Structure 1
Amino acid sequence: MIEKTIPAGHWQDAKGRLVPESQIKTIDKMRDELVRSLMAKAEVVNKVIAEFKRDAFAELAAFVELSVGEYDVKVGGTKGNVSLLSFDGELRVQRSIQESISFDERLQAAKELINACLREWTVDARPEIALLVQDAFRVDASGKIRTGSVLALKRLDIQDARWRRAMDAIGEAVQVVGSKSYVRFYKRDSNGAYQALPLDIAAV
């Protein structure tokens, strides 16, 4: 990328045009100064939070490894949800791993098996019953299958062989496409309930 040299006494506007500084209003200069000042401070805070997050995960992983080591067990990686309490129970630190999942082509096989069951089960029943199950395969606003709705079908206690095959197909169709790691901090209030310590700038 070639950097554009801005001549002395000129500013570059949002469209890339060079504007003589003498033609720029004082309020526009003040706005630019404020934005740049706040952004510089925000970048410092962002770096501090990033470093704190790395340290927190590293320290949590090290402690879990130390704790389970008393039982001659090794824990691979940093995967897994962990909740740690202070000795008095007033403070809690929680590590959470949230996986993002999708389904491969085997979901279509599951859908066909379920439809076969529904066609038979709803011969003399109201069609709304079939819609309730089929709704699980409805896509969301972004065109993606709602994974929670599909996986909820596996909790239904239906013993029909085709239904069980469909549930097996759903289980095998699950693909983990990514994960996000979180560390959250809680402090017990005067009522004994844990309240989260907000680290999100919008929640402070």
Structure 2
Amino acid sequence: MSTSQQQDNVIKVPAGMRVNADGHFVPEASIREQDLLRDQIVMALVPEALSLSRDMAAYKAKALNDISDLIEIAADRYGAKLGGKKGNVSLVSFDGRYKIQRTYREVVAFTEEIEAAKALIDSCLIRWSEGANANIRAVVSQAFRKNRNGEISTGKVLDLMRMEIDDEEWNRAMAALKDALKSNGTAVYIRVYERIGTTDQYKPISLDIASL
């Protein structure tokens, strides 16, 4: 959509009116003071958050580019040709105070075959209901519990596949889980660390607003 089209789609709000969440015009005079104060805080904080998000995206792009350039320089120095996806690297400042890591992680998702695996596992739990270890039942239930985004935890499902259970139906379920795993590409991360005093330990410099 062009800028002119976006401008045409902007709702023109008459003076003295506000637009509510349903898209309806509401006289500002009829809005509670607390609602107006809440709106004022949100509308002041969100643009700052958007600016921070853009700055962090720009920082990540610059960091990845600078690290790739450094690796290319090292390769050129030795006459090496780099091919394919570059791997994980760790860069430490000359004084050892700071460390930056570039890491790649495969992004894994599940196909529809996970439903077959879950059905087989449920069948096992029903069959074992009399003598099944309560811990196993808890682990299985937790593995298929979806998060608030409706996603199943890959790590918890992989934990199931590490269980050694001598049962034919369970083994078929694990085979279905294996077939359900699908690679969705690779994610790249930049992590920055600061050394703790004069030790050989490093603490992360948080770039996650939730952990600050």
Does the alignment reach a TM-score above 0.5?
yes
State the partner residue of 2:103. Answer: 96
Say which SS state the counterpart of residue 108 (structure 2) adopts.
Answer: strand
| Residues 153 and 4 (structure 1), Cα distance of their counterparts in 2 relative to 1, 3 Å cut | closer
From 139, 142, 153, give the equivalent of 2:144. 139
Whether 1:13 aligns to 2:18 is yes
Q: Give the AA of the match of 2:50.
A: E
State the partner residue of 1:76. Answer: 84
Q: Give me the TM-score of the superposition, normalised by structure 2.
A: 0.61
Say which SS state the counterpart of residue 43 (structure 1) adopts.
Answer: helix
- Using the TM superposition, give the Cα deviation of residue 67 of structure 1 relative to its aligned residue in structure 2, in angstroms: 3.1
Aligned-partner Cα distance in 1 for 2:190–2:59 = 10
Aligned-partner Cα distance in 1 for 2:210–2:159 = 32
Structure 2: segments with no counterpart, 5+ residues: 1-7
State the partner residue of 2:183. Answer: 176
Aligned-partner Cα distance in 1 for 2:139–2:103 = 30
Aligned-partner Cα distance in 2 for 1:32–1:129 = 52
Map 1:44-83 to 2 at 5 A.
Answer: 44-68=51-75, 70=78, 72-77=80-85, 80-83=87-90
**Does the Cα contact within 8 Å between 2:90 and 2:101 map onto a contact in 1?**
yes
How many residues align? The count is 195
**Does the Cα contact within 8 Å between 2:120 and 2:169 map onto a contact in 1?**
no
| Residues 167 and 195 (structure 1), Cα distance of their counterparts in 2 relative to 1, 3 Å cut | same
Aligned-partner Cα distance in 2 for 1:178–1:88 = 36
RMSD: 4.7
Deviates more, 1:65-74 or 1:55-64: 65-74
Structure 1: segments with no counterpart, 5+ residues: none
Aligned-partner Cα distance in 2 for 1:66–1:145 = 42
**Does the Cα contact within 8 Å between 1:109 and 1:166 map onto a contact in 2?**
yes
Say which SS state the counterpart of residue 63 (structure 1) adopts.
Answer: helix
Q: Percent identity?
A: 29
Say which SS state the counterpart of residue 128 (structure 1) adopts.
Answer: coil
| Residues 92 and 33 (structure 1), Cα distance of their counterparts in 2 relative to 1, 3 Å cut | same
State the partner residue of 2:131. Answer: 127
